[in-house]
Amino acid sequence: MSTLRVSNIEAKADVSSPTVDEKIKFTNSSGDVLFHLDGKTSGITTVGINTTGNTFTVNNTTGDISFSGSVTSSGVSTFTSDVSIADKIVHIGDTDTAIRFPSADTITAETGGTERLRITSSGNVGIGTDNPAAELEVYGNARFKDTDGSHGIEFYPDVASLGYQRIISYNRTSTAYEDLSIGVNDFVITTGSSSERLRITSSGNIGINSTSPKTNLDISQQTGAVALPQGTTAQRPSGNAPYIRYNTTNSALEFYNGTDWVEIISDYFPSGSVILG
């Protein structure tokens, strides 16, 4: 085998024909292109291995191309097949922001050097946690806003100072609380593991510890008592609706029929009801 060493090979168009392409091409004995370099008068524009097209193309269907150092692209890079990455994609000039593949079948996103999001091998998505136990698990507060970014539903599971969690309907533009509608058939509130305490049926009946309330307010399953509002005579509410309350001035149970306050039969008035002044 012979070896040819050349210090410089230059393909240069004649000055009288500056638009002529400058080319260097190597072919095999069959005329197949092995290496192709195509330049214009403004500089080299195409380098091809086993091809003559595109800006830089390697037409190799049986082997791989490896780069041992850094590869920098100042333009758009397009890949029509898979791109294999050992660990992460890092933002230039911001090395603590990355998309990572820390283990098999796992994707994470990091900002400020801290993991913010993870998709596990089982398909669970975690925000603020690296071990999500459900399809979506979020550590911290969350807001779901309208398209204008003003009103929406906000979840606050991390309110340690209150001792409980909050769900609110709030308008961030007007800084005001708003109505919240929950569309269900029967609305049920449970405490503990699954003990039902209150039910509002689709017909509007309310049951306290009653799974099938028969009236507007059904407390028939309770064995305790009803705690009534109480106050002095001067604190009686106004209006024309029926009321019932305990009057602490008279030490008596009283009822308002829309016109008069009437004291209900009791040990204090065993003979009957008395209209109160």
**How confident is the model over 90-140, as pLDDT tens digits?**
998 999 999 999 999 999 999 999 999 999 999 999 999 999 999 999 999
User: How does pLDDT run across 182-210, given as a tens digit for each residue?
Assistant: 999 999 999 988 889 999 999 999 999 99
> What pairing do the DSSP bridges indicate for beta strands 43-49 and 56-58?
parallel
Instruction: State the sign of the Cα–Cα–Cα–Cα dihedral 73, 79, 85, 88.
Output: positive
Residue 71 resides in a domain: no
List phi, psi (to 5°) of 33.
-75, 125
Is the residue at 209 inside a domain? yes
| Total structural domains within the chain | 5
Note whether 170 and 191 are same-domain residues: no
How are strands ordered across the β-sheet holding 22-27?
Answer: 22-27, 33-40, 43-49, 56-58
Q: What is the pLDDT of residues 127-152, one digit of tens each?
A: 999 999 999 999 999 999 999 989 99
Q: Is there a domain that residue 75 lies in?
A: no
**Does 2 lie in the same domain as 55?**
yes
Specify the pLDDT at position 32. 78
* Residue 7 in this model has a pLDDT that exceeds 70: no
Confidence of residue 82 (pLDDT cuts 50, 70, 90): confident
Q: Phi and psi at residue 233, in whole multiples of 5°?
A: -60, -40
- Please name the residues in contact with 56: beta carbons below 8 A apart, sequence gap of 6 or more: 46, 47, 48
| Parent domain of 162 | 142-181
In a domain, residue 22? The reply is: yes
CB 13 within 8 A of CB 41: yes
Q: Is the pTM of this model over 0.75?
A: no
Tell me, yes or no, whether 4 and 36 share the same domain. Answer: yes
Q: What is the dihedral of CA 245, 248, 253, 255, to 10 degrees?
A: -50
